[in-house]
Amino acid sequence: MSIGAGIFLIAFGAILAFAVKAQPDWLSLDVVGWVFMLTGATILAITLTLWNKRRRAASISERQVIENGRQTTAERRVYRETDVPPEV
């Protein structure tokens, strides 16, 4: 959801900064558009960084399970459900 929010803010900011020609006296839509684009880019960068950390942590824990030669109960359950055919 954060990726979608970041992309939305970038797109909305680009529309305000580059496509809208109306200029109220009390507000600069160009500046508001650039602020939205920077906020969207920041949200997108933070989200991708957190996803990368989670993926790296998951791959490390999977490697540890394989190297230690043991399986967790969740992995055993998945193994039983996918590799052992059900008896008819």
Q: What are 20-64's pLDDT values in tens digits?
A: 998 899 999 999 999 999 999 999 999 999 988 777 666 655 555
Question: Which pLDDT belongs to residue 85?
Answer: 53
Answer yes or no: pTM beyond 0.85.
no
Position 77 confidence tier, pLDDT thresholds 50, 70, 90? very low
Structure confidence at residue 87 (pLDDT)? 60
- How far is it, in rounded angstroms, from Cα 43 to Cα 2? 7
Q: Alpha-carbon torsion 25, 26, 32, 34, what sign?
A: positive
